[in-house]
Amino acid sequence: MSESTATRRFTGAVATPHTSATDAAQRVYRDGGSAVDAAIAAAATLTVVYPQNVALGGDLIALVRSPDGVIRCVNASGWAPSTTDAHALRSRHSSGHLPFRGVETITVPGGVGGWERMRRLGGRLPWERLLHDAEEAAERGVPVSASLADHIVDPEHADLFGMPDFDRVFRPGGQPLHAGESFAQPALAETFRILRSEGPESFYEGTLARRTVAFLRSRGSSLDEDDFVEFAPEVTEPVSVTFRGLTVSTSPPNTHGFVLLRALRALDELGSNDPLGDDLGAVMRIFHHANGLRSKYLADPRRSIVDVGELVHADLLATSALGAVSERTAPVPHGDTVGISTADSDGYAVSLIQSVYGGFGSGIIDPETGVLFQNRGTSFSLDESSPNVIGPRKRPAHTLMPTMTTQGSSVRHILSTMGGQGQPQIIAQLLLRILSGVGPDIAVAAPRAIVGVQFDGNTDESVSVEPGLSAPACASLERSGLNVRHVPAFTEAMGQSNVVVVGDDGSMTATSDPRSDGSGSVVHYSRHASPAM
C-alpha cells in the first residue's frame, strides 16, 4: 500500500483512506499543485466516495506547515445555533444527553470554510480545480467501497434503516448498495458545480447557504443565516512537546490533542523502555487517566477556561492540580472520520482530519443539495456544570487531532487517523513503532490496543486488542487490571491511519492503512502553475 523513493526532482507525497482520493491528489500534484492543494482535493473527493465518514456537512481540523517551518492549526469546527437554549434542551432530553441522530445534533459545517482557509496558507491552484475530481466522481459515479457497503448494512446504524433520507441515497428501492456497484450522486455533483463557480463563500452566505438554512429549518433546526454568514475557521498555533529528539505538534482545544502529548511526556518521564511490550499495560493506564481528563475538562476555550498547559504537564499519576477525575467517562464514538497526510519537496506538509462524527452523521441528507450533515453536536454536554455544556455559538469538544513531527527545521512525520476517542492512542503507537526502526508499512499494519469506549458494550476501562500483539504486551495488559476485549484483525474501528515519513535526505514514504480502502503514493512532477492568491 505504499510507494517509497529518494528524490531530487520536485516531489509530492499523499496517503488517504480511499484510492480515488489518492488519485485526485496525484492529479493535482501533476497539475502543479502543492501539498495543501493535494490535501484539499483528496478531502473533497472523500466527501463523495466515503460518505459514511465524511461529507460537505462535516467539520475539519488540519495542521499546515509552510516552507519557512511555521506550523499552523486550521480549526474549522462549527458552532451551535445562536439561539441555543440549554435549559430547553434539558427539558426535552431527560437522559441528560442530546440524541445521537437528528437535526438537534447539527452544528454549522466548517469543512468547506476550512478548505479555503488552508488554501490561503499554501495553495497554488485555483479553487475550481481543487473540486473538479469530486464533482466528476459525484456525477459519473464511483464503485461502492467495501467500507461503505459494510456501513450501510451494519446493525450499528440500524436506527437509520427506513429513514427516508438514508434509504433514498444508500438503500434505493429498499435494497442496500453493494460493494462494486456504481454510486452516483447528481444532487451533490450540482452542489460541487456551484461551489466551483461561486466559490466557498457560497456555502456560508450565497446560494448554497440559503438552500441549506431553508432545508435545515424545515426539519426543525434553529440554525439561521447569520449562524452561517458569521462563521469563520480559526487559525491558531499548535500545541507541542519534545519527544525523543522530535517536536510533536497537534491541535489545541477544543480538540483532544493534549491526550497524545500528555502520554508522550509520561513515557519520557517514566523511563519506559518497552512501551508496546512489557509496559503496554502502563501505557493504557496513562491513556485511561487522560481520557478522564478529556471528559471532565475539554471544551471550547473561547467560552470556557481550558488550560492546555496544565492538562499536558500536570502530575502524571495524580490529579492534585486538576481535581478528581471521574472513573466514568462520557461515551465517545469510535469515530467515522478520514485522515489525509501530504507533503511536498517545497516544504509544505498537511495533516488533515475531516469527519461527520458518527457513521453517516445526523442521518439527515438534503435531497436538493445532496449534502449529508454531521452529528457533532451530540458531543456537547447538557450538564450545566460541565465546561462542555452546549451554548450559543459554542463549539463542542472535538476528537479530530492532526499531528506532525519536526526535527530542527525539517518535517519528519505527517500522521493522521480516524478512530474517535482512540486517535491519540493510535498516533502514539504509530510513532513509537516508526521510531523503533520499523518501516511505515509495518507500523501502520501492526496490531493495536485502545483503551476506552471504542466499541458498543465497552466501558472506559475496556481495552480493545487486535490479534498479533507480542506475548509480553498481552501479559502486561492482563496485569494492568483493565478489561481486555479481543477484536478481529484489521478492524476498521481500530483506526484507518495515513502516514508520510520524510527522511534526512528528503526522500518520502507514503503509507495507507490496510483497515481502509486507501493507498499511499509519491509523485514526481514538473510545476507550471502560479501560487494562488
Specify whether 406 is catalytic.
Answer: no
Q: Which pLDDT value is given to residue 96?
A: 81
pTM of the model: 0.94
Residue 410 lies in a domain: no
Q: Is the pLDDT of residue 198 over 50?
A: yes
Q: Which pLDDT value is given to residue 318?
A: 47
Q: Is the pLDDT of residue 508 over 80?
A: yes
Among residues 31, 367, 198, the alpha carbon closest in space to that of 41 is found at 31
Q: pLDDT by residue (tens digit) across 452-506?
A: 988 888 888 999 999 999 999 999 999 999 999 999 999 999 999 999 999 999 9
Residue 58 lies in a domain: yes
Q: Which pLDDT value is given to residue 3?
A: 52
Q: pLDDT by residue (tens digit) across 168-190?
A: 999 999 999 999 999 999 999 99
Q: Which pLDDT value is given to residue 70?
A: 98
Residue 409 lies in a domain: no
Among residues 343, 360, 450, 353, the alpha carbon closest in space to that of 405 is found at 343
3-state helix, strand, coil in the chain (%, to 5): 35, 20, 45
Residue type, 429: Q
- Residue 321: pLDDT band (50, 70, 90) is very low
- Residue 47: pLDDT band (50, 70, 90) is very high
Q: Which three cell numbers stand for residue 226?
A: 447569520
Residue 211 lies in a domain: yes
Q: Which pLDDT value is given to residue 183?
A: 98
Residue 261 lies in a domain: no
Q: Is the pLDDT of residue 283 over 50?
A: yes
Residue 227 lies in a domain: yes
Residue range of the domain that includes 78: 34-235+353-396
Instruction: Report yes or no: 368 and 380 within 8 Å, Cβ to Cβ.
Output: no
Q: Is the pLDDT of residue 315 over 80?
A: no
Q: pLDDT by residue (tens digit) across 248-280?
A: 999 999 999 999 999 999 998 888 878 999 999
**High-pLDDT (> 90) share of the chain, %:** 86
Instruction: Report yes or no: 224 and 249 within 8 Å, Cβ to Cβ.
Output: no
Q: pLDDT by residue (tens digit) across 91-144?
A: 999 888 899 999 999 999 999 999 999 999 999 999 999 999 999 999 999 999
User: To 5 degrees, how large is the angle CA 472–CA 477–CA 481?
Assistant: 145
Cell 508520510 sits on residue: 500
Q: pLDDT by residue (tens digit) across 60-77?
A: 999 999 999 999 999 999
Q: Which pLDDT value is given to residue 239?
A: 97
Residue 283 lies in a domain: no
Q: What is the mean pLDDT of residues 417-437?
A: 95
Q: Is the pLDDT of residue 323 over 50?
A: no
Q: Is the pLDDT of residue 332 over 80?
A: no
Q: pLDDT by residue (tens digit) across 376-403?
A: 999 999 999 999 999 999 999 999 999 9
Strands annotated E in 59-201: 59-65, 71-76, 142-143, 182-183
Report the domain count for the chain. Answer: 1
- Residue 333: pLDDT band (50, 70, 90) is low
Strand partners for 35: none
Instruction: Report yes or no: 413 and 250 within 8 Å, Cβ to Cβ.
Output: no
Task: Calculate the average pLDDT of the chain.
Answer: 92
- Residue 310: pLDDT band (50, 70, 90) is confident
Give CA–CA dist 416/46, Å, rounded: 15
- Residue 531: pLDDT band (50, 70, 90) is very low
Q: Which pLDDT value is given to residue 357?
A: 95
Residue 465 lies in a domain: no
| Candidates 255, 337, 342, 369; catalytic one | 337
Among residues 396, 354, 374, 397, the alpha carbon closest in space to that of 496 is found at 354
